[in-house]
Amino acid sequence: MGSPVVMGLMKLIVFGVLGLLVFLDVPSFCNGGSTSSFIRKDEKAVDLPLDSDVFRVPPGYNAPQQVHITQGDHVGKGVIISWVTMDEPGSNMVLYWRSKSKQKFQKKGTVTSYKFYNYTSGYIHHCTIKHLEYDTLYFYEVGIGHTPRQFWFRTPPSIGPDVPYTFGLIGDLGQSFDSNWTLSHYESNPNGQTVLFVGDLSYADTYPFHDNVRWDTWGRFVERSAAYQPWIWTAGNHEIDFDPEIGETVPFKPYTHRYHVPYKASESTSPFWYSIKRASAYIIVLASYSAYGKYTPQYFWLESELPKVNRSETPWLIVLMHSPWYNSYNYHYMEGETMRVMYEAWFVKYKVDVVFAGHVHAYERSERVSNIAYNIVNAKCSPVPDESAPVYITIGDGGNLEGLATNMTEPQPHYSAYREASFGHAIFYIKNRTHAYYSWHRNQDGDAVVADSMWFYNRYWNPLNESTKSYS
């Protein structure tokens, strides 16, 4: 897209008098949303040193470490429990029991390991437990036979349209001092029940030879949250770990060995795109770094997936991806464009409520806009207000060592409602089928401060205009 003036001139030439009308109709680019006046101290984010407290190896022979859980089936009655042992494979067994019950169950998992350049991983265990009871506190134990460690989680309530549920949103976390603030702030908010993680986990690939020791430190860092509540994974570009110079040509090798997702339960053929239902939400995870063009497996999957969403059962339709479609920073600008062109019309047709992405190391929330009218010759290539369109939120501000994206396109485009270059996290509180409350919390001087918030009106049950912005 050129400037409005250049576009207007082009349209004049193409359409003559008709073009003049179109030109007058172009939304004003001076009518953007707000750019926060909060200016964060522009310090480079620094990775935590290897001997940091948050990377401490749990004591004891072959003690399980890097414990994390995610949803293990399509409906929330399953969990995948993963952990790493370093000295020897040890037991694959998980013991688990309901909080008020003496009866213990056990389930045997699998173990794997991988090599990356001159790094050899520990023994990576995954165990999928199914048919749990809804809304129940479970304890579990891993490291059986050597150094057992105990954790707990609560299963989500049974799926239903008015079930309140609260999701945390974190992206591009990394393992810097800022990452530790973001995670601490998320933990200090008692409401978050499940993390929707929008990609870029460890940033191990920023080290020489992608030093995979940094995948291990990251696993130990997030254990304090990820062992107790599911983190729903999305693959970002830092998960690709492709490096022919050092002979590593299998993309996503560390990520796919370490982080399992229940993709088969949604009839996906790949762990990079899948869906889950949880409480009143239907969550679709897409892959910015897998093929998404027409005739690709992801395209076919999404095409048959969207009609399956039953809004009477799960009113809230949420999409996660790594690379944002609407982004007005100068970083990664338009990287999500080709995927937007493929799928945006579907998101409008199926009334997706909200799309969360990461990648850009800053925060941004869009108006409900779409840009699906363009057909090469009609010159309709500007986003327009669209009450059936999702709100696009960029939340790639977890705090990784690459630092903040501070350079924004000026003036603020009309599709951008709020933007701010600060680290932080967000919370999406579903109240019932019609209302959800959303808040973004910036990391400021050690505290989490609500810097942006809005009431979401469900696009299926309550498709009212939530915007306070006038397009006139």
Ligand X SMILES: *[C@@H]1O[C@H](CO)[C@@H](O)[C@H](O)[C@H]1NC(C)=O
Q: Distance of alpha carbon 277 from its chain centroid, rounded?
A: 15
Distance, CA of 1 to CA of 424 (rounded, Å): 31
Residues that bind Fe ion (CB under 5 A): 200, 236-237, 359
Contact 323, 288 (CB under 8 A): yes
The residue among 78 and 174 lying less far from Fe ion, judged by its C-beta, is: 174
Angle of the 17-25 helix axis to the 4-15 helix axis, nearest 10: 150
Shortest distance in whole angstroms from residue 270 CB to ligand X = 26
Residue 236 site contact among ligand X, Fe ion, none (CB < 5 to 8 Å, cut-off depends on kind) = Fe ion
Report 413-442 residues binding ligand X (CB under 6 A).
431-432, 434-435
Binding of residue 113 to ligand X (CB under 6 A) = no
Binding of residue 470 to ligand X (CB under 6 A) = yes
CA dihedral over 279, 136, 195, 80, signed as positive or negative: negative
For residues 116 to 145, the per-residue mask of contacts with ligand X, x marking binding by CB under 6 A and - elsewhere, is --xx--------------------------
DSSP 117-130: TTEE--EEEEEEE-
Binding piece for ligand X, criterion CB under 6 A, among 24-32, 49-57, 282-290, 352-360: 49-57
Report 329-358 residues binding ligand X (CB under 6 A).
330
Buried b (16+ CB within 10 A) or exposed e, 358-388: bbbbbbbbbbbbbbbeeeeeebeebbbbbee
The residue among 237 and 280 lying less far from Fe ion, judged by its C-beta, is: 237
Q: Can you tell me which of 4, 385, 411, 463 binds ligand X, judged by CB under 6 A? A: 385
Determine the length of the chain. Answer: 472
- Is-catalytic flag, 425? no
Contact 310, 273 (CB under 8 A): no
DSSP-derived letter for residue 92 is: -
3-state secondary structure of 165: strand
The residue among 62 and 179 lying less far from Fe ion, judged by its C-beta, is: 179
Candidate list 332, 359, 414, 441, residue with the active-site label: 332
Report 294-323 residues binding ligand X (CB under 6 A).
310, 312-313
Backbone angles phi, psi at 457, to 5 degrees: -100, 125
How many other C-beta atoms lie within 10 A of the C-beta of residue 80? 21
For residues 166 to 185, the per-residue mask of contacts with ligand X, x marking binding by CB under 6 A and - elsewhere, is -----------x--x---x-
How many other C-beta atoms lie within 10 A of the C-beta of residue 2? 10
Binding piece for ligand X, criterion CB under 6 A, among 140-148, 243-251, 264-272, 463-471: 463-471
Q: Return the active site residues.
A: 332
Binding interface with ligand X (CB under 6 A): 48, 52-54, 118-119, 177, 180, 184, 209, 310, 312-313, 330, 385, 407, 431-432, 434-435, 465, 467-468, 470-471
